[in-house]
Structure 1
């Protein structure tokens, strides 16, 4: 099994925090096939106010731009926006620039919901170089693009963009090397992302990103990406020497990271409430509140990077909270913390540390290094909680062992993705090749998660306060 220096570094941090001993321990873009393996499924024209837009949906998760039409506008709309902070209440209030509309933003991480003015476009001439105006409701928006319409692409291929929780919109010609055109083409655990050479590839780790996943009934829940400026207020990375294709790849990557970090805020908010309900020690509550603030800053940083690479402001939309706080069940809380914290945060921290070791941009290195340190503290919090709960409810010890084994087995069960060219380039950009990520996770499970579980599940502490 491949061993990584990032796992060694992380293991030292985590085991020191827990007070336990460290155990000894493809082809080019034109290859493959002779035609489009992912043609547009059930194309349906996108209409705004009954008028054509030149955009067609291709089933769930993708749209194609067939014509460069002037985008119709649905403003002013009659239904006002209502939120805690009212920077506007209707589209008519947004008159600082053309094509203004009043959009609802959920907020998050302590930020209240708000109504803010966004400004769109109706034709390509209103967008920056390397962007096109992608029509939508209530108006178009400028998105990164390497094609204008499907006529720019090879015969039988379209100018498409995936749309979904994991993807920042960007128009690109399909290629023979594409593995997918939308998330619908990938297994349920994957999404359609951008590969090293700009081709679309299925990424088999869900919305791969950093931070604690926000699990509801066992499934990770994320907001969708939207255009907003309040999450893009951190230092930006360097764009020097990056090609347009590399900027698109990085914009999509950091959007996924931002959505994961945003969801982590919700995960820790819920965890804090559960700690209070279980009568947990004050120090665990304090650390959980601190982690919530950390994840908010991580989300702001990630969306600042995504916005810089994309050339337009990006942020998270509303996050669905339905069913997210069921009646208290210590067994369920324990299972969620094992998956979200003991495993999820451990893998996130190791990936961040590995990225920091290889990123060429000092701003990216500094960001990933800081995230790695924070996520290490968050993982240590999860392990401390498990130790405390098993001290006061020892009857859950067998369940904890089984849940750790089951969750780790699910990660190991993923088939190693094929090796692809460009892994070294991805590392320099602060990203991780899919095969390398899978190998890194396996190493972390063997040399961090398994030893930590052995150390803590077999060593009850001196805490004596039982939950109420």
Structure 2
């Protein structure tokens, strides 16, 4: 099954279907396998470099207790501690229109439940939110991570998967805290650092291009995780990248960033609603940041003398992202039963790079590859969504992302013609790096629910590799960046 034939044809049409693209399209239409672009294996990626000696943790000190932060930024757990289980959300007033709980006493599925108040698409709500104080409250194979520890983003203590509980459980005396934010959600893990790790600290991962590289614990379910360089691998739209890191606004309670959208959530548990809401809130923040990204892209096009057509399409794309953010914040708010919107985004006015090499490298990573994968992911999400209203809203986003991907490829085609060898060499380097980064499965997320637009890590990884082969590959051949075969 040629799952992404329509996306490939759309992007090749944007490029004029020149070069060897005609044979690529013909092959796919005749039932033959589409042209393949080589995907480097994980062992050949930047994440497999030898650990830097500068990233070694300090020797274990038996007098240390609790969470220990090393000079290199690593955080590990010398001993178990009791966390503050305070949840900083407003309590239920009892006057809300829909009450899943009325008081904290109604929240008994987990310890330290709080009945919190919020407002959704169809009125005010009360629902349960949970935190933890100790490992025992989290259950077997988990540990309680205190809010404010290391790079943890959560605003209250959380239960994390744990293959170790303290440094004493590890041969190298380091039970490290991994808070891996891949651009859409945060995966919190405790894992031993070992000689098999491919990084020792975030400093080893700074060579990852424009990806928010960090040394994090990763592994498939049922396997002990190892420490690897993780990136912003959740691809939705065009990220706002500043100093090599994707930036987005933090969430805050506000109602003015929501589209008019309603769908049924009663069949979901409160825990599932909260997890799926967090996923969509993260996507919303990335879409919100994409507004700034396209605005900056427009200024770069003007600085480099781009044709009016590309500038106009970039402006339209920026307006598209306003709608995308409103839809995603509406989904997150509806699921959570409270207002969710973006906080301030001061990074939007950061210094702008307008040299050809920086422009082309960012265009490839964030546009040609990132937005192509985002468009394909949008199409894949639609296959599982059942609610008509939700599906229609997400279908509009998927169609817009396909146009944005086409804009990126057309812009690259223009840049290659306008700037010659300098642009071509920058594009080839960027594509090689992008194929490595997106050739791996993303980390397992806290929730998987295709009916509400949350794909599993293995499904997402497999689909991305398919897109790299069957869509990105033919486009590269069309531009002459990969030899025709």
Aligned match for 1:223, one of 230, 249, 252: 249
1:55-99 deviations in whole A, cap 9, x for unaligned? xxx99xxx9974669x8xxxxxxxxxxxxxxxxxxxxxxxxxxxx
Instruction: Give the 3 Å change call, closer, same or farther, for CA 322–374 of structure 1 in structure 2.
Output: closer
| 1:192 lines up with 2:186 in the alignment | yes
1:310-389 alignment runs, 5 A limit: 310-321=336-347, 324-389=350-415
Q: Is the 8 A contact 1:170 1:248 kept in 2?
A: no
1:346-391 deviations in whole A, cap 9, x for unaligned? 1111111000112122223222221111011111111111111211
TM-score (norm 2): 0.63
Separation (CA, whole Å) in 1 of partners of 2:401 and 2:469: 19
1:55-74 alignment runs, 5 A limit: 66=84
| 1:153 lines up with 2:110 in the alignment | no
Q: Is the 8 A contact 1:209 1:257 kept in 2?
A: no
Counterpart of 2:5 in structure 1 is: 8
| Local SS of the residue matching 1:215 | strand
Counterpart of 2:308 in structure 1 is: 282
Instruction: Give the 3 Å change call, closer, same or farther, for CA 42–231 of structure 1 in structure 2.
Output: farther
Q: Is the 8 A contact 2:84 2:133 kept in 1?
A: yes
Structure with the larger RCO, 1 or 2 (CA within 8 Å, 6+ apart): 2
1:34-53 alignment runs, 5 A limit: 41=67
Separation (CA, whole Å) in 2 of partners of 1:10 and 1:64: 52
Shift of 1:447: 1.2
Shift of 1:442: 1.1
Shift of 1:432: 0.8
TM-score (norm 1): 0.65
| Local SS of the residue matching 2:236 | coil
Unpaired stretches in structure 1, ≥5 consecutive residues: 26-38, 44-57, 72-119, 136-141, 460-468
| 1:293 lines up with 2:319 in the alignment | yes
Instruction: Give the 3 Å change call, closer, same or farther, for CA 351–270 of structure 1 in structure 2.
Output: same
Counterpart of 1:441 in structure 2 is: 464
RMSD: 4.3
Instruction: Give the 3 Å change call, closer, same or farther, for CA 256–144 of structure 1 in structure 2.
Output: farther
Instruction: Give the 3 Å change call, closer, same or farther, for CA 245–42 of structure 1 in structure 2.
Output: same
Q: Is the 8 A contact 1:338 1:404 kept in 2?
A: yes
Instruction: Give the 3 Å change call, closer, same or farther, for CA 367–177 of structure 1 in structure 2.
Output: farther
Shift of 1:13: 2.8
Counterpart of 1:452 in structure 2 is: 475
Separation (CA, whole Å) in 1 of partners of 2:7 and 2:393: 16
Aligned match for 1:232, one of 232, 243, 258: 258
Q: Is the 8 A contact 1:258 1:298 kept in 2?
A: yes
| Local SS of the residue matching 2:259 | coil
